[in-house]
């Protein structure tokens, strides 16, 4: 470590090399590849590790990205920053682990590598360069939009200054379980993979929606997930990110079932406005169930998806009348969620939660006082006239006392309110 005016100088960080890429291939194979995934890949037969700068990979699907269109002599087939490519040939397929300065990307491939099936994909990406053009210099991105301000590093009350965060994304697919492989319906597979791309064709959307509704596939699941990944992976990744010095782990929940799983594991929605939308979805789905509509977890996700149709096309019995799912995987808007990992992040989150609970309790007390005052005022206004002093007791000239007095009724006292 060099010194610069008595300040630590980290050359690796200045060059953009982030802590997440210190995770080793051995750690990944031992900790991140779940038992069922490892069984499908089979034992490792050979290893080849190299440094590359080409977009092209070794087989279909193994390519990397050049989102900033970086060119060398007019050639956009090379990336700005070289990456490390770890290729592990296994008995039943292959495992690839790719590293660039900000991201590690793990992919499991099953079958003949001339046309393999992707069965496992997990990535961990440092978020420090998000909302800058440098974000798209990462050659391992599958999504363009991290450079936009809407995806800047998360800001929320109580977040410690200088906090570090890593994004997790994970997808799994059982071999041979693609919809098109099962029934030959490529359009249904495209719909399940991303139903929001069909919103502009509501009649076609509803036809495909009816098919998906009767299936066991949640939106995004064009293949059946590997069962042990959802149960196994999140706490392992938490520990791995914590070991490498990260304060927070974050994700973008593409659909309602993903949101509910990560919420159960301790993730919170970062944007209060989006949290308000999620509260609407939670209340709406609860209301549907209270009406006697039986919903599986996958169908809950489809209920959320169908709200994106124009109002007149939403099935009446599923209409939640308002909320729209915030992340369509087409625009850069994402449902960012975060979980505190480090001691200081957990302490900050605990303190913030206490403040929120105190504020909520104070608001409830204030509301109760307002309601109490309003009830007292209403009781005073509607008090029976019989409780008022008799008219005869009011001092008046004798001549006036002798005059007949029209009776005053409660209805009269309410006039002009």
Mean pLDDT of 349-363: 84
How many H helices and E strands in the chain? Answer: 13, 11
With 50 as the cut, is the pLDDT of residue 396 above it? Answer: no
**The pLDDT value given to residue 395:** 44
Which positions ≥6 away from 267 have C-beta within 8 Å? Answer: 250, 251, 253, 337, 338, 339
Count the Cβ atoms, other than its own, within 10 Å of residue 148. 16
Q: What is the pLDDT of residues 5-40, one digit of tens each?
A: 666 777 887 888 999 999 999 999 999 999 999 999
Which of the pair, 57 or 156, is modelled with greater confidence? 57
pLDDT over 90 for what percent of the chain? 66
pLDDT higher than threshold 60 for residue 413: no
How far, in Å, CA of 35 to CA of 135, rounded? 33
Query: Residue 383: its pLDDT value, please?
Result: 64
- Confidence (pLDDT) at 393: 46
pLDDT of residue 8: 72
Position 3 scores a pLDDT of 54
CB distance 309 to 125 below 8 Å: no
pLDDT of residue 48: 97
Among residues 197, 257, 251, the alpha carbon closest in space to that of 221 is found at 257
User: Does 415 have pLDDT greater than 50?
Assistant: no
Mean pLDDT of 213-229: 92
**What's residue 398's pLDDT?**
40
Please state, rounded to an integer, the average pLDDT across all residues of the chain: 88
Concatenate the DSSP letters of all residues of 350-377 into one string: HHHHHHHHHHHHHHHHHHHHHHHHHHHH
Identify which has the larger pLDDT, 351 or 99: 99
What are the pLDDT digits (tens) for 79-103? 988 999 999 999 999 999 999 999 9
Give me the pLDDT at residue 72, please. Answer: 81
Q: What average pLDDT does the segment 368-394 reach?
A: 70
Model confidence pLDDT, tens digit, residues 296-340: 999 999 999 999 999 999 999 999 999 999 999 888 889 999 999
Above pLDDT 70, what percent of the chain? Answer: 90
pLDDT at position 354: 81
- 250 or 392: which leads in pLDDT: 250
Sequence spans of domains, the chain: 11-177+224-252, 179-220+271-331
Please name the residues in contact with 136: beta carbons below 8 A apart, sequence gap of 6 or more: 67, 68, 144, 146, 147
Helix intervals (H) in 22-142: 25-27, 35-41
Quote the CA–CA distance of 60 and 228 in Å, as a whole number. Answer: 27
pLDDT tens, residue by residue, 102-133: 999 999 999 999 999 999 999 999 999 999 98
Give the mean model confidence (pLDDT) for residues 260-285: 96
- Amino acid 386: pLDDT: 56
Q: How confident is the model at residue 387 (pLDDT cuts 50, 70, 90)?
A: low
Classify residue 160 by burial, with Cβ atoms within 10 Å: 0-12, 13-18, 19+: middle
For residue 239, what is the enclosing H or E element? helix 227-243
């Amino acid at each position: 470590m060099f010194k610069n005016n008595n300040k630590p100088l980290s050359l690796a960080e200045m060059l953009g090399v982030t802590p997440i890429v210190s995770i080793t291939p051995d750690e990944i194979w031992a900790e991140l590849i779940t038992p069922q995934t490892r069984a499908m890949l089979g034992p490792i037969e050979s290893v080849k590790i190299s440094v590359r700068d080409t977009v092209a990979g070794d087989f279909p699907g193994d390519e990397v990205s050049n989102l900033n269109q970086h060119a060398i002599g007019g050639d956009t087939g090379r990336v700005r920053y070289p990456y490390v490519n770890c290729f592990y040939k296994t008995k039943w397929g292959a495992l690839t682990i790719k590293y660039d300065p900000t991201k590690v990307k793990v992919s499991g491939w099953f079958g003949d590598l001339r046309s393999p099936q992707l069965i496992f994909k997990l990535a961990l990406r440092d978020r420090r360069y998000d909302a800058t053009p440098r974000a798209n210099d990462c050659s391992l991105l599958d999504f363009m939009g991290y450079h936009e301000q809407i995806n800047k590093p998360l800001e929320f009350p109580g977040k410690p200054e200088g906090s570090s965060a890593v994004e997790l994304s994970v997808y799994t697919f059982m071999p041979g379980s693609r919809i098109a492989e099962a029934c030959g319906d490529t359009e249904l597979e495209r719909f399940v993979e991303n139903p929001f791309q069909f919103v502009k064709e509501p009649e076609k959307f509803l036809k495909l929606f009816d098919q998906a509704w009767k299936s066991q596939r949640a939106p995004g699941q064009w293949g059946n997930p590997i069962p042990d990944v959802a149960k196994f992976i999140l706490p392992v990744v938490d520990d791995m990110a914590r070991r490498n010095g990260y304060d927070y782990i974050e994700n973008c929940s593409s659909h309602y079932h993903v949101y509910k799983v990560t919420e159960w594991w301790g993730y919170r929605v970062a944007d209060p406005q989006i949290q308000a939308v999620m509260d609407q979805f939670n209340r709406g789905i609860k209301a549907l169930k209270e009406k006697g509509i039986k919903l599986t977890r996958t169908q809950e996700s489809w209920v959320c998806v169908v709200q994106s149709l124009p109002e007149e096309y939403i099935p009446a019995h599923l209409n939640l009348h308002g909320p729209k799912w915030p992340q369509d995987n087409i625009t850069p808007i994402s449902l960012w969620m975060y979980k505190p990992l480090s001691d200081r992040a957990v302490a900050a989150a605990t303190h913030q939660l206490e403040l929120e609970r105190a504020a909520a309790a104070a608001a409830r007390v204030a509301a109760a006082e307002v309601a109490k005052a309003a009830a007292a005022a209403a009781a005073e206004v509607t008090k029976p006239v019989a409780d008022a002093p008799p008219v005869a007791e009011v001092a008046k000239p004798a001549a006036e006392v002798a005059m007949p007095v029209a009776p005053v009724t409660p209805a009269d006292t309410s006039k002009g309110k």
